[in-house]
Amino acid sequence: MANKGEKRYRKVKRINIWSAIVEFVFFSILSAIVMAAAVQLFASYIIDSKITSEYERIQYMARLYENGLKNDDRNIYNLLVEEGHEYVITDADDNVLHINGENTRSDVSGMVRLSESDDEILVYQDAVRGFVYPGRNNHLALDFKGFREWMSADDNAEEKDIGHIYESSQGMINLPIWISVDVDNGNKHFIGKALYSANRHDARVLTILAGAMAVLVVVILITMLVAAIKNFVRQRRMINLYFTDMVTEGHNWSWFLIKGERMLRKRSNLKTKYAIVSLNFVNYRNYCICHSVASGERLLCEIYTYIEKQLDKKEMCAHTTSGGFALVLKYNDKESVKGRLEELIEGLCRLDEEHHFSFQAGVAFIEDAKDRKGRLLPRKDIDIDSVYNNASAARATLAPSVESGIAFFDESLVEEQIWLDRVQEKQQYALNNEEFMVYYQPKYDPRTNELRGAEALIRWNSPEYGFLSPGRFIPIFEKNGFITEIDHYMLKHVAADQKKWLDEGYKCVPVSVNVSRAHFIESDLAEQIRDIVDEAGTPHEYIEIELTESAFFDDKMALLNTIGKLKNYGFAVSMDDFGSGYSSLNSLKDLPLDVLKLDAEFFRGDSEDERAKIVVSEAIKLGKSLNMNIVAEGVEIKEQVDFLAGEGCDMIQGYYFAKPMPGNEYADRMKADSKTES
Ligand code: C2E
Ligand code: CA
Ligand code: CA
């Protein structure tokens, strides 16, 4: 769960941030490129178109010169001067043959293709005013820096103020570039100085255009930035929502899982010992029923706030579901956690003095792994979800009580849980396959050592788990309700065994069968028992029904009714485990029982204990005077047998005489007994 939550959380974060960043960077770069290209293109287009006419003039002069050369015209240089362009004539090795004006041609040259002609022409940058130069892609380029300098100059400024750029007043500028034209079959070059004259107006249009584009780009970028920030804020809100508990408005389970794991994983927290607590407000549901869900939720808010206040730095609390809270606490030892939780629970109970509140807490410690040298290993694989689950399992052990309490998780709980699962998984199969066996424990008369009865006790002979005594599985069946099936099963087998032994001529005695408390809520229980026994064809006096003392606290009328019917059908009914739990003296008064089984606890301590003897003796007298037979359970030593015999106890069921045994061994006892009789 933690992993899934973490993945989902990361997805939410990653998508938004990255898409915004990628978008922003992509558009920034794209617009910068587009803007630069557009301005450069536009500039070169303007220069280009103006230079074309200059090129044509220089070409004309070159042809003029060539013709003059051919005709040996001495007047040619005068003619050329009239054309008004400065020029240089060089030979093939670039030696200057003739100059008109000032030769400011620089070495920087390149081929340029003018947009209106297919020719590529060779151009040279001007050494003094080189603002136009052969740029990349065979286009003329403009040096923006110099251009800006000129642009910013005052229209009426004197030439000297802005130095070499300025050619004439009225805001005109002449930007020179030298254009070379081959003459004399390429043996000579006529290199004329072309002048690109621009006025400020042109330049300003260009600048405004560039500016507008820049503004546009900036606007787009700002819009995107705003969108990204909005996105970011929205995402923060989303994360907040994702982590907020709707009831307490504090942190929720997802937050606990993700942030908790992150905190525990941090290297800086490695040396701190942490405990995970599953805390439950036991009375929550009841409180909601008695008041309202809204006030119940208000109370949860108060509880949450109170807990938060008790937390130290690097401790956490979240509301899980209904009355549940999850906590991460720092601790030194088990006792300190216990002390803190007790204090916390006390404080929580004081939130509303008018009500009696209770809180149950389960605690599981984060187990820290160490390397061979005893150094702590990073908590890379920490799974806070399963540690919390362990804490909850520990808390669940308190569940039968509704009082406040604290329980700690240990490994035996896991084993218990695993065992519980296995038993539940196998129970039906085991029943169908007759894996459950009936053992018989004989009951003897202590005065005559005569076999007077037996109790049927279940055993599970499991192919997977071996031979199991009832303590391992009966409590589980009692909880999950399977016990009623077991009771039927036992009764059926005991009735069948008795019938078989009777038919075989054994001297049978009554066998008691345990009927669990859960069974007694069924109103037709007596009929069910009768039918099962009748199906086997066993006379009813050979079957006795044992009820545990605790059953007598349930619906007394129903119980009385069932007992009455059972007696009517001719079954003896006994009260099992008398004296073990709450006193059932009161029940003795109302219920017409046949047998009183004194609980084994009476015979556990010192056999010479006078007080114990008095209690047993009085219990026997009480039973006797109510016309009941008395059976003492769990008797192991001779002194007890003798004492009980003296007190008039009717039967003893205990290891002194016999342990529970399989049916065939028990049958041998009956046989042996009947032999001594005969
Ligand atoms: P229980 O009904 O009180 O049965 C008597 C238990 O005391 C039996 O334990 C028996 O073996 C034991 N016991 C008898 N004499 C002595 C003795 O001298 N010393 C000691 N230490 N123990 C003695 P077992 O068979 O383990 O059964 C335990 C409990 O499981 C039973 O207590 C009963 O509550 C339940 N149980 C057993 N079989 C069934 C059944 O078929 N149905 C139901 N509903 N419960 C059963
Ligand atoms: Ca019993
Ligand atoms: Ca008993």
Give the domain ranges of the chain: 17-213, 253-409, 435-668
> Torsions phi, psi of 48, nearest 5?
-50, -50
From the CA of 456, the nearest ligand is 1
* Placement of tokens 């056999």 in the chain: 607
CATH of 435-668, one of 3.30.230.10, 3.20.20.450, 3.30.420.40, 3.40.50.150: 3.20.20.450
pLDDT in tens, 418-442: 999 999 999 999 999 999 999 999 9
Ranked by mean pLDDT, the top range of 220-229, 474-483, 625-634 is: 625-634
Nearest ligand 1 atom to the CA of 483 is: 44
Share of the chain above pLDDT 90, in %: 53
> Torsions phi, psi of 638, nearest 5?
-60, -40
Q: CA–CA separation, 55 vs 40, rounded Å?
A: 21
> Torsions phi, psi of 445, nearest 5?
-80, 120
Are the CB atoms for 470 and 548 separated by under 8 Å?
no
In this predicted structure, what is the pLDDT of residue 160?
Answer: 43
Closest CA to 196 of 136, 130, 105: 130
pLDDT in tens, 28-70: 888 878 877 777 777 667 667 777 888 888 989 999 898 888 8
Output the residue whose Cα is nearest ligand 1's atom 11.
Answer: 660
User: Which range is least confidently modeled, 5-9, 251-255, 648-652, 654-658?
Assistant: 5-9
In this predicted structure, what is the pLDDT of residue 16?
Answer: 62
Retrieve residue 307's tokens. 């807990």
Number of Cβ atoms within 10 Å of the Cβ of 523? 12
* Placement of tokens 């406040």 in the chain: 404
Number of Cβ atoms within 10 Å of the Cβ of 358? 18
Is the C-beta atom of 474 inside 6 A of ligand 1?
Answer: yes
Residue scoring higher pLDDT (157 or 209): 209
Nearest ligand 1 atom to the CA of 487 is: 42
In this predicted structure, what is the pLDDT of residue 671?
Answer: 78
Output the residue whose Cα is nearest ligand 1's atom 19.
Answer: 634
Is the C-beta atom of 483 inside 6 A of ligand 1?
Answer: yes
Q: How confident is the model at residue 375 (pLDDT cuts 50, 70, 90)?
A: confident
Closest CA to 565 of 597, 589, 531, 595: 531
pLDDT in tens, 269-312: 888 999 999 999 998 999 999 999 999 999 999 999 999 999 99
pLDDT in tens, 248-272: 999 999 999 999 999 999 988 888 9
Number of Cβ atoms within 10 Å of the Cβ of 665? 14
Q: CA–CA separation, 66 vs 64, rounded Å?
A: 5
Q: How confident is the model at residue 151 (pLDDT cuts 50, 70, 90)?
A: low
Q: How confident is the model at residue 165 (pLDDT cuts 50, 70, 90)?
A: very low
* Placement of tokens 């130069």 in the chain: 133
Is the C-beta atom of 511 inside 6 A of ligand 1?
Answer: no
Q: CA–CA separation, 556 vs 644, rounded Å?
A: 31
Are the CB atoms for 529 and 568 separated by under 8 Å?
no
pTM for the whole structure: 0.62
Share of the chain above pLDDT 70, in %: 89
The identity of residue 370, as a single letter, is K
> How far from 143 is each of 125, 131, 146, 150, CA to CA, in Å?
11, 5, 6, 11
In this predicted structure, what is the pLDDT of residue 225?
Answer: 85
Is the C-beta atom of 245 inside 6 A of ligand 1?
Answer: no
pLDDT, average across residues 386-393: 94
CATH of 253-409, one of 3.40.50.300, 3.30.70.270, 3.40.50.620, 3.40.640.10: 3.30.70.270
Q: CA–CA separation, 431 vs 487, rounded Å?
A: 11
pLDDT, average across residues 525-551: 92
Ligand 1 pocket, mutate which of 459, 467, 474 (most atoms under 8 A from CB): 474
The identity of residue 206, as a single letter, is L
pLDDT in tens, 61-104: 999 898 888 888 888 888 888 888 899 999 988 899 899 888 88
Cβ neighbours of residue 136 closer than 8 Å, sequence gap 6 or more: none
